Amino acid sequence: MQLIDYDTSSFNGMPSLNMALNAYNTHKLDSIISTSIRDIFLKHGAHSRFALNLIHRHFTLHSQERNVHVNNIALPWDAATMPQDILERTVPILWRFSKSGTAGPGLLSCEFEYEPRASIATSTSAVDLSRDKPFLTDLYVFLAEQKLTRYLGISRLSAEDKSNMMSPTLPPIEITEGRANITFPAHLQPQAGKAAQVSWRFDENQLGNTKCVSSCQLNLEGSHLRWHDEESDDDDDDDDDDDGDDDNDDDDDE
């Protein structure tokens, strides 16, 4: 399992939230996530390091941009203008699977986090996932068999995610304004409405214990908030072609 160098198509190749939610419902992912996928995480002990994510994007990145999280806000950063010493401290936190390249399946870095204390050794091009290769391979094989590699990926668990596993509190809710993603605690959400679960983590102590660790807000009609729908579903299909993925044999689900 290779780590594929980041470029903008890694992000732009993700489906819209509406497309991802359609796949979630069509494939009955709530059941698959809490059983087969949970078992893969627990088998390899990956539940202590990674969460499962519903892969989707909220807007389009321009050339040389990357979506970077700082605290509760994620914004596009332009690599062409960002100081190199700062850029080197953006660490991948969200990955999706890809069949791109001659070396077989790989991981595409899609979103990043700024870590002021990160060194070049842990930066964008040098993330070490070697110990997780058996887990990543098993997860990829299962997702490929289920035709879900386009819709499910992994993210690095934060310290807050880990500490809140057994907490009764609701997961944080993300909204998007323009090209800024803002994450609020559930009780401070700025607009009433439904929320779609987009990230889950697992616990080995209780059978079937799967917890949502983040969500995206929906309007009352069940579609994503207007600013998440800047891009059409046709645009997503075009991006997948640019990305080089060939996991699009499940497009009839959309």
CA dist., res. 165 & res. 158, Å (int): 11
CA dist., res. 101 & res. 122, Å (int): 23
pTM: 0.78
Q: Tens digit of pLDDT per residue, the chain (254 long)?
A: 788 889 999 999 999 988 999 999 999 999 999 999 999 999 999 998 999 999 999 899 999 999 999 998 999 999 999 998 898 889 999 999 997 556 678 899 999 999 887 655 554 444 678 889 999 999 999 999 999 999 999 999 865 655 555 455 667 788 888 898 888 876 665 555 577 888 998 887 754 456 555 656 554 333 333 333 333 343 434 444 444 454 444 444 43
CA dist., res. 194 & res. 213, Å (int): 16
- Give the contacts of 106 (CB within 8 A, at least 6 positions apart): 1, 2, 3, 4, 97, 98, 99, 100
